[in-house]
Structure 1
Amino acid sequence: MVANVIPEGILLGRARVPGHSEPRIVTVRDGKLVDITAKGFATVRDIAESGKAAAHVKAATGVLLGDAAAVVANSVAGQTSENLPVLLSPIDLQAIKASGVTFVVSLLERVIEEQARGDKSRADALRTEILDLIGTDLSQLVPGSEPAMKVKAALIEKGVWSQYLEVGIGPDAEIFTKSQVMSSVGYGAEVGLHPISSWNNPEPEVALLVTSKGEIIGATLGNDVNLRDVEGRSALLLGKAKDNNASASLGPFIRLFDGDFTLETVKNSEIALRVEGTDGFVLEGASNMAQISRTPESLVAATIGGHHQYPDGLVLYLGTMFAPVKDRDGAGKGFTHKLGDTVSISTPSLGTLTNTVNLSTKCPPWTYGSSHLLRDLARADLL
């Protein structure tokens, strides 16, 4: 069941608004989209770094832009009208980071990708073989713990140790750069697959909004689009597998933490996924955040701290436990995207993020970067 697109709570987002060259900062009040862009608070980065993000968004004066549901409908690729706003990714100057192999199901599928060397036809047989070899419930292991290290030693002895098992149950989390600043897409946009890929999938995730001080102040939904065949050939191809045009989607809004919505809410969320193909194929699944093997706080600490600073803050994808294996084109062929797939990721506290799949070479090219944003804000006297 897909949740409502727009959740309750204190919402922070961005929109392209007719009559303005610069993206506008928006929130939702009583079902209406409100433009709260103001000098000194003209970016999501500035609001997040203010130390009072939720209070500011809640109290800020603004301009009514119209019915929020109408703007959501107008944001779907191919259905937009120039007379209405269009939602954008709800972040701007933040770094876009991601954590991988944070759930056991995801861990096992990564090992399978590696062992298959990107050949999806070998996945089913390898899945059975690896599960027989492991012979233990990895979900009960605390990464880096003494029991985890004993399992590591046993797997090395069996000859099935993997770089994915290392980051799945070893002491160090996998943290990588998912995409470039200003390159993420929002609700309704197309998401891109590199045209060389023939085995790929969506990754439904929660993404945290983190300040430059390492404080977690809100969350949104994300699709960490993944090319299984490319990463399976070599982990050194992670950049090619993960960072392509329109390969990172976020939205529809950031929900800021307050008394009713906290990090504990996120930890207990169930993230639903629904893929609907133009061929009539439907795939559904869910990730329960309670089953994550590393806490969100530990993943943030592995990303930002004395070892690495982010002066404009960051967004961190937390990983997914959902790795689709449902056969699509015949027994044993597993799942892979087809162009035109509609991907919906949802949870009641964060709403629904919907995107349509296309090739990264066919999605609108990324042409608006940090320099363009700053110039437009300067022209509008908003800096």
Structure 2
Amino acid sequence: MRIIRYRTSASAAVLAALTDEGKLVELQQADFLSVVRQAQSEGRTVLQYVQSVVESSEGRQAALEELDLLTPIEAPEVWAAGVTYEKSREARNYEATGGKMDASTFYDKVYDAERPEIFFKSTAARTVGPGQGVQLRSDSQWQIPEPELALVLDGDGTILGYTIGNDMSCRDIEGENPLYLPQAKMWRRSCSIGPAIRLAESVDNPYDFQIACRIFRDGAQVVEGTANTKQLKRKLDELVSFLKRDNELFEGTVLMTGTCIVPPNEFTLAGGDRVDIEISGIGKLSNPVLAAE
């Protein structure tokens, strides 16, 4: 079961449930967290509540591609974890050493350490949804998307659902100095999430999501990569436990869990490109790339 938000022809934002069979049922609530609170007030799980609404409604058949999709949740904060896959460690080492593939760096330490790397990524105002443009940074010459499984959290750290995240990154800025990480990761339109929230209860095994990323330029595919969340070095609950440690979690916080797909080292995004990220059971997050201003 997935939860989506979309805009109608009258420009009204609608929250809806979408089954795997393509049945679309509009929900009376305006946002996902209101659905969570309604389910709690009735003593039911979110999935139980949504299923009851779907079963009692006629709905209609619809596909995600047909809808004017919005971010499935207006996350007050988006956080991200880094170096959670072997591929990510290799890429960060390459950046930090100027291309010395066999060199060891502090990224090896964080990969093996008890404490994961977790950093602040975005706010609702900086985050875009499906079909909206992600922005290139003007002072970077080496920029890539980072396709990631993202967790939608309750205020106590409970994983309510899963969505797709694009953690836009500047490899040259981060490689120049690790203290530049906030600038390498956070600027306007540097984060996208969507197209849906897959309810956590409807996922049998979160360590078996298939992830694919494809980048298109002038209508032709120029980059493709695939991965699976079974390659994650850390457990999802482990990442959440460190995020909420001595921290205040706002309801609807999103936590990206790291990437295992990195474009070739000679590749950088350009204005006019399109980034498509697909995760099995969730959908496809597609964003055009806007040139730096």
TM-score normalised by the chain length of structure 1: 0.68
| Cα pair 1:244 1:360 within 8 Å, conserved | no
Shift of 1:53: 2.2
Q: Is 1:43 equivalent to 2:37 in the alignment? A: no
- Structure with greater Cα Rg: 1
State the alpha-carbon separation in 2 of the partners of residues 256 and 360 from structure 1.
Answer: 35
| Cα pair 2:141 2:172 within 8 Å, conserved | yes
Shift of 1:112: 1.7
Amino acid at match of 1:314: T
Q: Is 1:171 equivalent to 2:114 in the alignment? A: yes
**Whose strand fraction is larger, Structure 1's or Structure 2's?**
2
Equivalent residues in 2 for 1:66-81, closer than 5 Å:
68-69=62-63, 72-73=65-66
Residue matched to 1:99: 81
Amino acid at match of 1:187: P
What is the aligned counterpart of 2:51 among 50, 53, 58? 58
What is the aligned counterpart of 2:203 among 261, 265, 269? 261
Residue matched to 1:14: 5
Residue matched to 1:344: 276
| Cα pair 2:153 2:161 within 8 Å, conserved | yes
| Cα pair 1:186 1:250 within 8 Å, conserved | yes
What is the aligned counterpart of 1:249 among 192, 208, 214? 192
Which one is further off, 344-353 or 219-228? 344-353
State the alpha-carbon separation in 2 of the partners of residues 87 and 104 from structure 1.
Answer: 33
Residue matched to 1:318: 257
Shift of 1:212: 0.8
Q: Is 1:115 equivalent to 2:105 in the alignment? A: no
Residues 90 and 290 (structure 1), Cα distance of their counterparts in 2 relative to 1, 3 Å cut: same
Shift of 1:216: 1.0
Amino acid at match of 1:213: D
Equivalent residues in 2 for 1:138-157, closer than 5 Å:
none
Residues 189 and 65 (structure 1), Cα distance of their counterparts in 2 relative to 1, 3 Å cut: farther
| Cα pair 2:151 2:163 within 8 Å, conserved | yes
Q: Is 1:24 equivalent to 2:14 in the alignment? A: yes
Q: Tell me, what secondary structure is at the counterpart of 1:60?
A: helix
State the alpha-carbon separation in 2 of the partners of residues 187 and 282 from structure 1.
Answer: 21
Shift of 1:221: 1.3
Residue matched to 2:237: 297
State the alpha-carbon separation in 1 of the partners of residues 270 and 219 from structure 2.
Answer: 9
Q: Which runs of 5+ in 2 are unaligned?
A: none
State the alpha-carbon separation in 2 of the partners of residues 243 and 161 from structure 1.
Answer: 23
Residue matched to 1:133: none
State the alpha-carbon separation in 2 of the partners of residues 312 and 165 from structure 1.
Answer: 33
Q: Which runs of 5+ in 1 are unaligned?
A: 1-9, 75-85, 117-122, 131-159, 327-333, 362-383
Residues 108 and 176 (structure 1), Cα distance of their counterparts in 2 relative to 1, 3 Å cut: same
Residues 170 and 338 (structure 1), Cα distance of their counterparts in 2 relative to 1, 3 Å cut: same
Residue matched to 2:217: 277
Amino acid at match of 1:37: Q
| Cα pair 1:247 1:360 within 8 Å, conserved | no
State the alpha-carbon separation in 2 of the partners of residues 342 and 110 from structure 1.
Answer: 24
Amino acid at match of 2:73: I
Identity of matched residues, %: 31
Amino acid at match of 1:244: W
RMSD: 2.5
State the alpha-carbon separation in 1 of the partners of residues 187 and 171 from structure 2.
Answer: 14
Q: Tell me, what secondary structure is at the counterpart of 2:79?
A: strand
